[in-house]
Amino acid sequence: MVMEWSTQSAPPAQRFDLWREACSQHVYALTPHRRTRDPFQGTIARRQLGSLDVTDIVCDGHLVQRREQDIGDSPSDTYYVYLQRRGQAWFEQQGQRCVAEPGDIVIADPNIAFSTGTDGTFDFRLWRMNRAGLEPLLALRPGELPMRRLGRDQAARALMANWLDALLHHQADLSAQALELACRTLYALVADAVGASAAQREPARLARRRALLQRVMSQTELRSSDMALTPERVASECGLSLRSLHQLFELSEHSFHEFLTRTRLARAHALLRDPSARHVGTAEIGFAVGFKETSTFYRRFRQRYGDAPGAFRKAHAGAVERESTAVS
């Protein structure tokens, strides 16, 4: 469930004060400042994913401080991963300044005072992790983690961003156990990026491999309709050797070829259920999702779903029609 909050329904003169209260409730105790008297606009969307708290914020630009007084009044039991979605934002902490560009990630401890602002609009996603879950993985002691920016050219950022995207995309399909494993993998990726303790170096290496596998899977899903897609091409595009790619899939239940086939079949399954695609023949659907041979598509589809594509489409259309008749 997503909790959504907006300034839109509040009287213009009260919006910024209400925004300050909402940030303290849904983010951290902060001290916002704004010079202009123009009506303020801001939205917050918050959800829980296992042990992770995910908050999306879009609002007019202003200065935000988390002062020592704010920390003393309301210390946080989390660390956070900040993902810049659009525009730029700057951060200052302990005399250091960094600028986050779209796609950049900033990892930080909210119990170390900082300031942030933007000349445009704030548009970011905040992933908050329990301190109790992350601190045992870190080489640094509590209170010693400075802000770390992971730029778009850094491999650690690409792996972490892809893992976070996949976690949001697949959350509805994850069991509680799988979700907890995904959260632990994120914690290990964060620890690896900022400095993992000696005891956590092997778990961090495994987390990197899981995240790299997810990146390969995402790339394969995007390109699955390409009939010429091969493991060699995917490996090259992901900066891997062919052997390394196949070794990554040892972490999965399926080989590369099995994963590619199942991805294509899932897309065919969705198209056969889609009323807007009824004019497209079953053979054409097979070609559209990446199968070179109609016979291979039909055989694989029957093995996966227990029926031929045409019979599956007819049965689904009949079921939808009967349901519609019953409702009317």
pLDDT confidence of residue 37: 80
* CA separation for the pair 114, 95 (Å, rounded): 9
Q: What integer pLDDT is reported at residue 246 of this predicted model?
A: 96
Mean pLDDT score, 142-169: 91
Residue 320, pLDDT score: 55
Residue 325 has pLDDT above 70, yes or no: no
Per residue in 41-74, pLDDT tens?
999 999 999 889 999 999 999 999 999 999 999 9
> What amino acid is encoded at 26 in this protein?
H
Q: What are the residue ranges of helices labelled H in the chain?
A: 15-26, 68-73, 131-134, 155-170, 176-194, 201-223, 231-237, 242-248, 256-273, 282-289, 294-305, 309-327
Q: How confident is the model at residue 139 (pLDDT cuts 50, 70, 90)?
A: very high
Q: How much is the pTM?
A: 0.83
* Fold for the domain defined by 1-152: Jelly Rolls (2.60.120)
In 3D, which of 257, 281, 258, 251 has the Cα closest to residue 268? Answer: 281
- Rounded percentage of the chain residues whose pLDDT exceeds 70: 97
Q: What pLDDT score was predicted for residue 322?
A: 55
Where in the chain are the domains?
1-152, 153-253, 261-327
Instruction: Specify the long-range contacts of residues 316-319, CB closer than 8 Å, at least 24 apart.
Output: 316/272, 316/273, 317/275, 317/278
pLDDT for 318 equals 65
Q: Percentage of the chain with pLDDT > 90?
A: 80
CA distances, 127 to each of 121, 226, 277 (Å)? 19, 34, 38
Mean pLDDT of 272-279: 92
Question: Does the pLDDT of residue 18 top 80, yes or no?
Answer: yes
Report pLDDT digits (tens) over 231-255.
Answer: 999 999 889 999 999 999 999 999 9
- Give the pLDDT band (50/70/90) at residue 169: confident
Q: Under DSSP, is residue 319 helix (H, G, I), strand (E, B) or coil? A: helix
pLDDT, residue 321, reads 55
